[in-house]
Amino acid sequence: MATDKTVTPTEDQLEILEYNFCKVNKHPDPTTLCLIAAETGLSEEQTLKWFKQRLAEWRKSEGLPSESGSVRD
């Protein structure tokens, strides 16, 4: 039953995710990620995946490479 399907967050979940991304931290530590996951009702894996995808979108919009190990936002 457990599948690795992409889950589309609800509007309420997106609001929480976006708030945390924009106002709190684009790179949440494991504890923060766990709290965000609990708040949204998503798994930590789904939450981390959303943050990674959102960060890639943000980097693209800023004209930065989508992946960068040396520059932290």
Question: Which residue range(s) make up the domain with 39?
Answer: 11-58
Whole-structure pTM value: 0.77
| pLDDT by position in tens, the chain (length 73) | 445 566 789 999 999 999 999 999 999 999 999 999 999 999 999 999 999 999 999 999 989 876 655 455 4
Confirm whether 35 is domain-assigned. Answer: yes
CATH number at 38 reads 1.10.10.60
* Residue 50 forms part of a structural domain: yes
Cβ neighbours of residue 50 closer than 8 Å, sequence gap 6 or more: 9, 17, 42
How far is Cα 61 from Cα 55, in angstroms, rounded to an integer?
10
Query: pLDDT value at position 1?
Result: 45
Whether residue 18 is contained in a domain is answered as yes
Contacts of 33 (CB under 8 A, 6+ apart): 44, 47, 48, 51
pLDDT the model gives residue 53: 94
Q: What is the reported pLDDT for 7?
A: 72
Q: Give the number of domains in the chain.
A: 1
